[in-house]
Structure 1
Amino acid sequence: VHTSNLYGIAHQQELGEKLVELSGMEKVFFANSGAEANEAAIKLARLHGHKQGIDNPVILVMEESFHGRTLATLTATGNRKVQAGFEPLVQGFARVPYGDLDALKTAADNLKGIVAVLVEPVQGEGGINIPPDGYLPGIRELCDRHNWLMMLDEIQTGMGRTGKPFAFQHHELTPDVMTLAKALGNGVPIGACLANGKAADLFAPGNHGSTFGGNPLACAAGLAVVEQLTANRLWEQAASKGEALASGLAQKLDGVEGFVEIRSLGLMLGLQLDRPCAELVGLALEKGLLINVTADSVVRLLPPLIISDEQIGQLTDELSCLITGFLESAS
């Protein structure tokens, strides 16, 4: 279960090599959770700044984002409810609207000490917010121009969910830093912070560490996940199943008063309603459906990548009936 990091851990090395191969990144630091992976990314950004002589480095983060519940990651999170009661928050973050390249350019012109941009390729907790096509490439260009780190939080979007192994692969770019967790261990706690290019050699021995990060058990689970994901190219199944699910739900809910739209990328779906709908979670559970509601009025669906056609049909029929009944009763 546990081996001291003073010794070589074969599963850790093998998993690191597979993640590097799958992502095109260079190095991996293993942690125990997504929040820890994002903490490592934040430390990399600050170290990058200090190496340039920036005494007060600033990381640009997004409104409606979610990056974790440690003090630094909840400060980076763009949700006041997550932060309330835990002040004073951590310094060194500046917030801009998600999906707005012009806002990032304005920040570049007016804020001193920017060293990185931390962004989700698709905002999960924020309500399945999918940015315009040129948004991530635009961030890459800005980071290259200003010597910032482009840091992608792929804790929800990674490991095949959006129809590619990693969401950034929908575009012709590679981030400097990427964080993973959740699906990487398929239920076993593990996090990973991957680095590339100028970010890959920032950490020196002693700069960062984790007692249990990269332990044999977690890395064995991670290896099994990566092997199944790649052997079966499950990201392709996520793309086709997600399209079928989104299409079926859109057809069933078309014309229903109070239903606004479906936003989806692979098996990451958000059904936008025109009113708060948190009670749908309990109503769905009674029907045997596991859903979530984020941003007050968005039904979020993150089905398993191995969801069957039969299950898609069941989810489409029962969820659309549930939403229709809820909206009609609330009208």
Structure 2
Amino acid sequence: MKVLPFLSVFSLSLPLLVLVNVIFCLYWLLAKNRRILLSALVLILGYFLIDSFFKFSFKSEEASSKDLKVMSYNTRGFNKYEWSSDKSLGDKIIDFVLNEDPDVVCFQEFSRVRYHQLKHRYKYNYVAPGFYVNKVNQAIYSKYPIVNTGELPFKHTNNIASFADILYKNDTVRVYNLHLESLKVVPDIETISNEESSKLYGRITKSFKKQQDQAKIVQEHRRKVAYKTIVCGDFNNNQYSNVYRTIKGDLQDSFIKKGTGYGRTYNFKYYPVRIDFILASNEFSVTGHKNYDIKLSDHFPVMATFNLRANK
């Protein structure tokens, strides 16, 4: 069992290993050394075996107005606790969402203060947990009717997961909104390097264990659902982790299907981290994916578009 936490921490370094191999490739190329073949082979195998690190796209596709547009965004409380000196940050987030105009928005680290600012555009919404529960809020806003809502039983944590069943095109779609346990790591390499390694390792592995327990809860909950499913959220772990694989299962990752570049979703200096995801069951055709480079939170918003396949 002791090996598993090590492997979990190791998964965080995979993007760095890819970058190191790119540097070696350039070095061997300039040196005209045959060792470039080894580094190139590693990169080629890595691309096909771990193709979710960087995606090439040779053409852009415009989403149809008939497609379902789904956004996921960890807003860091709309700057409620003033992590930024910009007092207008919360309003800027609202303006951004309204301008992009998704059909469904999943907010992590939501602030109830902002509840009414979106109601004129989104008639249906669900904020979780209840008023008197001491956990971090999240919300699902929808242009389509919400007919059922609920929460998943995350215990001994401030993080939660919720869901809403949404009526769409004479069908019911279950949308999950996840916010898994935080690794509690300051997004700055210098700060991390100055921390005692044993304490850092211990804190991360403890968080990984909670994440894995939460991922299994999501997995088991989703298995009991007959509806077409979309899973959004901040997993606080990357695409190489067992946490991600457990939740993803047979779902489609919108970035892998239609994304471009590194797809980073978290503002970690000098290191492209993708920890926010939009996943969908195979009844949907992924028609688009967009990563935004807008610094209104410590996370970057992501949006995916879907076409609901016709029933056979």
Global fold match (TM > 0.5)? no
Structure number with the higher helix fraction is 1
More strand by share: 2
Instruction: With the length of structure 2 as denominator, give the TM-score of the two structures.
Output: 0.30
